[in-house]
Every structure is written in C-alpha cells, then in structure tokens.
Structure 1
C-alpha cells in the first residue's frame, strides 16, 4: 500500500466510536483473527471502551494519532508525553490491512511525532510478555526488552477477561535519535 495515501491527525471526540470499533476489531473476537495482532486466545471481553478512548483523546499531555486513507480510519496509536520520554499504546491497525507494512509506517510516524513535538528521547511501551511474535516485531523496529514486568490487572474487566493466570506486561524501550 503506498504511504502517500495516508494522512495523520490527532483524534477528536467525534472519532471515539470509530476508534473503539477499530481497537476492538484488532484485538478481540473473531474479527481480530483476520490479522496477526489478536489477543483473542489470551483475553476475552473488551479491549477498551468509549470512556477509556475519550480519556486518551482528552488527555492534554498526549494525543491519539489517527491514520486515514481516503478519509477512512485504518489505524491509530496513543502517544503520551512523560518528561524525557513518550509512552506508546493503544496501537491498532485494521485486521484486513495487517501484514502489509502499514504498522511500520504508523510506528515511525509516532516516533517522529514524539521526538519533534515533545523532544522525547525515548519511546516506551508495555506489551503482554506472552505475545512473543508481537515483541519480536517491535524488536525488529529497534525496541528492546527490559525484563521489567508489571502485573496484568486481573479482576478489572475494562482490560478484558484473562484466559490464563500468568499474564504480565513487559516494558519495551527505544531511543529516539535526533
């Protein structure tokens, strides 16, 4: 897919319903199995909800970056300015478009935005450590595993219903060159 057809912008409140649908489709349920980023074998239930997405959109120290092609929402990611670094999360690409290089373009734009808008020198993210294929994808983009683990929020169904009892998040980091 030619990247010249992509446009990027910050999300607004009117984007929330479409963003929730995109994020859910990339991570949960049968639709997510059309791509390779599904968490459906690890988690059931919701990945996010309108209130959670609206909070990210309204956060003054961040933005929810949207990628559109011909006016159609096809990908998004959260960026949050946290001092000398930026946090990257809520990354979703429409399942039918996964595997074609779009994710690489989105993450590169997120890194550029964090560096240029905030002077961030590092990007950080947390990934479920059992998602080895996804972590390997991030490693190929220059992220490194830190071994720093945080527990999954068991009992909080806003983050999904775990299908196993050993889920943890691992911190991944990447220096952002100037």
Structure 2
C-alpha cells in the first residue's frame, strides 16, 4: 500500500497520523454538530446533540492495521477527511467530513472519488460500503448521485451510547449503502 502523500490539483491527500488527532476531531465535530455545522449542509445538529467522535475513536482508526484515515489538505490546512476500512472484498467508507465553509463546492465529490480509487488500488476491493442515518434523505440522495444504492439493510442507532451523540428523535437507524467499484 502506497502511503505517500498524493497531490491532485490544489489538494493533498495523505494518511493521518496520531499528531493529527485533535485537528481531525475538531474538523469532524464542525461538520456535523453545533452551530458551526449549520454553515454546511451535512449538519446533524437537528437530530443529534453531543459529540460525533472523540480523540480515542479517531486514534483507533488511525492506528488500526485494517483501516486508514485520509487527511485532505489545501494550502497547508486540513479541510476534509474520510475513513477507509478493508473488510474482505469490500471497503467501508466513513468518518467523512468536509469543513462547513468548503461544502457545496464539489470537494466532497472529489474526495469520495479518490477514496474509491485508493480502495480499489490498495486492496483490490469490488465494493464500497457505508452506513447513513435513514432520516438524512438529502445526504442519501447525494450518495445515490455518486452511484451508491440503498440496500434496505438497517442497523439500530446505538441509543444510550453518547460516544455517537445524544439523539433528539426516537426513529434513528443506519442504512447500508453500497457501490460497485469496477
């Protein structure tokens, strides 16, 4: 697996390190929680309060032998990230965050395409999997436009586990989305 930074246009993609942990937590929180997340369109502030992740969770992804946390920089600053985890013939895509002020510019589309390319190249996987909260219809539609399809396979939201946030509704579940990587 090639872990050297890759530059495409003005973006630099690199594997995150332990030294990036605090900045990554701040980025992920800014994209999904609190008032700062409302600048972008990926906010979950109306359905979940509390944290989206924590330093321990981010560090576990960085240090896992079966995953990588891709840090995306522009002009030397962290602007996005995503997790790739090798799961047999598929890769799991998660922990995707784009700085709220940079959302809606096509950046997310570029990053997910790079993540798919890396998963194919480095692991030879045939599919990308992800889970999305089912009430996030706008986000699911965005992924569908990128070639992902809904499977109808649901996982319950971990109510009572505040590591994933404090639900503001009682109808939350995750749905598996899948995209063939050919």
Could you say which TM-score interval applies, normalised by the shorter chain?
over 0.9
| Matches of 1:20 and 1:160, distance apart in 2 | 14
Alignment of 1:73-84 (within 5 A): 73-84=78-89
Counterpart in the other structure of 1:59: 64
2:144 to 139, 144, 158: 139
Whole-angstrom distance in 2 between the partners of 1:120 and 1:18: 30
Cα separation, 1, equivalents of 2:112 and 2:105: 14
TM-score, normalised via structure 2 length: 0.95
SS in 2 for 1:52: helix
Unaligned runs of 5+ in 1: none
Cα distance, 1:18 vs structure 2 = 0.3
Query: What are structure 2's unaligned runs of at least 5 residues?
Result: 1-7
1:24 aligned partner: 29
Alpha-carbon distance in 1 for matches of 2:43, 2:18: 26
Q: Could you list the structure 1 runs, at least 4 aligned residues long, displaced by more than 2 angstroms after superposition.
A: none
Please state how far the C-alpha of 1:150 moved relative to its aligned partner. Answer: 0.5
- Match runs of 1:80-159 below 5 Å: 80-159=85-164
Match of 1:33 in 2: 38
State how far apart, in whole Å, the 1-side matches of 2:67 and 2:54 are. Answer: 18
Q: What is the CA distance between 1:102 and its match in structure 2? A: 0.1
Q: CA deviation at 1:50?
A: 0.3
> Shift of residue 70 of structure 1?
1.4
Separation (CA, whole Å) in 2 of partners of 1:70 and 1:96:
15
Mapped partners of 2:169, 2:67: distance in 1:
32
Matched, 1:71 2:79: no
Report the Cα distance in structure 1 between the residues aligned to 2:32 and 2:63, rounded to whole angstroms. Answer: 23
Task: Say what the alpha-carbon RMSD is for the aligned residues.
Answer: 0.5
Return the alpha-carbon distance in structure 2 between the equivalents of residues 86 and 63 of structure 1: 11
Aligned length: 175
Deviation at 1:42, TM superposition (A): 0.4
Shift of 1:10: 0.4
Deviation at 1:152, TM superposition (A): 0.1
